[in-house]
Structures are given as structure tokens and as C-alpha cells.
A = this chain, B = another copy of it.
Amino acid sequence: MSIEQFSGKGRLADTGEGITGDELQLAARNHGMPLEALRYDLTPAGLHYVLVHYDIPAASATNWRLTVDGCVEQPLSFGMTELRAMGRQTVRVTLECAGNGRAGLQPRPISQPWLMEAVGTAEWTGVPLAALIRAAGIRKDAIDVVFTGADHGFERGIEQDYQRGLTVTEALDSGAIVAWEMNGAPLPPQHGYPLRLIMPGWYGMASVKWLRSIELIDHEFTGYQNAVAYRIRQEPNEVGVGITRIEPRALLIPPGHPDFMSRHRFVPAGPIVLQGRAWSGWAPIERVEVSVDAGVSWQDAKLDADSNDLSWRGFSFDWDAVPGEHVLTVRAHDASGRVQPIEAPWNRGGFANNSAQRITVLVLSQPSA
């Protein structure tokens, strides 16, 4: 056995190939947000989606250090107490995994097999990233900022710490924070305890967990997670386009009651209020459409108050459920003009897929017990 056999190339599933054992191992470790948890304005920590590339590192806030160095005037190193003295801000952020929706694709890229529940919204508290970088002083030759987590492993034969890069402009202007609290409590281990980056509006891969180093460099960052993974490609060898902000998506709370195994829904006939949330990392949500006939016809949902940030926005729709089978679907529009597609274009990594949710519902003429 060699490293290559232990840590292989990416691939697409064969036609009709079921979910593989490797995909199942990831699905059993990582988890989405059960969609009924769309009912909570803020997702409780244990219900928020989580994706961990390698292992959750053992970590202690007591001896944790964050360094800010590289192309800076004055390299800095912070313990948790020193960091807390640098400022405190709370931001409400909807995070979504860049691979959300992947498992529904044909052909299916073999990786973490998300359906469409890899999302969550939390209030993250920490110090603005810009304050830390400015405290160190940005040298003129600085081009990119590299964030390094304490998680370490292999991907496609390459041993690495989890690392992501941003341009200096993105790092300064995106409202990013270096967070130590989630929903008012210390970060849970799986969400980056004791310290993580939060990049509002960006897919989750940018929000590096277990953050231990911020390094300014004088060239473009070409690490694995920017240059190899997390790119939109049609063919394996093309350069592709790096993934940044979250595409618009709306999700309904599945109404009624589920079947344990199929997750199909049973709904008693009569008036029912359908509810859900919609979000986009590009601009606030300004319209949500609902269809109760599998997309043949669409009607506007009622939007909740605007949150004045990029976090999700609630919506509701009054439906008079008549007996029989129905397919509910929903799509979001944001203020940048982006419209969620019924079916998003395929790409080889299964990234940024925002195809519309479909919920199969059987409306029962007798009220459910």
C-alpha cells in the first residue's frame, strides 16, 4: 500500500452507482441541518451543518495562539485573552457548504454526499479580522492572506494543514471576524473551538476553523483548497473558477409529518401555512416564489422583515392543501438580480449547486391523527 492507494484521486460515480462506503463514512461523521430546524431564527449549535475535512483537533483555549505575520510591519501573536482585548463584534451569518446539493447531481461527484441541508445560521462573536491585520500593519508587497487551521490530513495524496487564502481586499472588506463564540457560547469543538474565521456571505470553506495562523504573502496563494479543490470545473484538468459567495437558495420546512424511511410527507387536507428561509451571499433576498404543482405555476411568498445583512430571510405561503400527491418547490431571488434555478448547471466537483428543493407530499382527506 502506498500513499496514493490510501489517498486517491477524485472521481465521478458510475451510472446508477449507489452511494459508496467512502461517501457514507463522511455522511456518518458530518451532518446537515434537519430541515425542520429552519423553524429556528438561529440554528442551535448541534443542528448547524458541519463539515470537517480531517479530524476535529484536540484544542485548549488556555494555550491557544494565533499569529499574524508575513508581509506585515510587526508580526503579532495573540493568546485568547489578548484577542478579546482587541475588540468584540457579533455578526449573524448564514453558512452553507460549497458542496451542498452534490449528492443529487448526475453524474455524482464522489465526495461528502450532501443533499440540500448543509446550512445553518448563527450569531458569531469575535474581533473583526481587519482590526487584527491592521494592528500588524500591512506591507505594500502583501497580496494574499493565508489562514491556517490546526486540522491536518491528506487529500488526493497531498498532506496538508487546512489552509485557505483570500486577497488582502477580501480579508479587509468582507466583514470577516475571528470568532470565539457561537450563539453566545464558546465554539463547540466541531465548529472550530477555540477560534475560527467567519466570512459572511461566503461558502463555508472560507471560514477556516481552529485558526492558528494568519499570514500575509507577496504572491497569489496556490494551496490545495484554493487551487485544486473548491473550483468550478467541467473537465478535471482545467484551471476552473474559484468559489466565493453563496448562490441564492430557498428551503421550505417540510410540512406535516414524515415517513421515517422515505421522508415523504403526509399532510392533512385544508389550509396550511408553508414556511421557510431564503438566503444569498451576493445580496439580500427580495423575492421568493413557491410552487405547489412541481414548478408548473409559481406564486410569490410573503417575506418576513429584512434582516439587513446576508443572513437568511423567513418567508411564508398560505396553501389550501387538497387531497392527493403534490410536489412543493421554491426559488429565491436576490437584490443583485440572481435567481435560483430549477436545476443548476453541473460541475465536476458538485460545488455551488442551488437546484430547487422538491418535497413530495401526500395530502390526506382524513385529518392526520
- Residue ranges of A at the interface with B (Cβ–Cβ < 8 Å): 1-3, 6-8, 10, 17-32, 34, 36-37, 39-40, 44-48, 50, 52-56, 58, 103, 110-111, 113-115, 117, 152-156, 159, 188-191, 254, 257-264, 266, 324-325, 360, 362, 364, 368-369
Contact = CB atoms under 8 A, between A and B. Distances in A.
Given A18-B18, A34-B52, A37-B189, A262 B369 contact: no
A34 B264 CA distance: 28
Contact of A260 (B27, B44, B155): B155
17 contacts: A1-B362, A18-B20, A19-B21, A25-B115, A26-B261, A34-B55, A39-B58, A44-B188, A44-B189, A46-B191, A47-B189, A47-B190, A110-B261, A152-B257, A152-B368, A154-B259, A159-B368
Contact of A46 (B8, B190, B262): B190
Nearest to A30: B31
Indicate how many identical chains form the complex: 2
Contact of A6 (B48, B52, B264): B264
A259 B37 contact: no
Given A7-B262, A19-B24, 14 more contacts: A18-B19, A24-B27, A26-B261, A28-B117, A29-B32, A34-B190, A45-B45, A46-B188, A47-B188, A54-B260, A55-B257, A153-B260, A154-B257, A154-B258
Given A159-B368, A189-B44, A22 B261 contact: yes
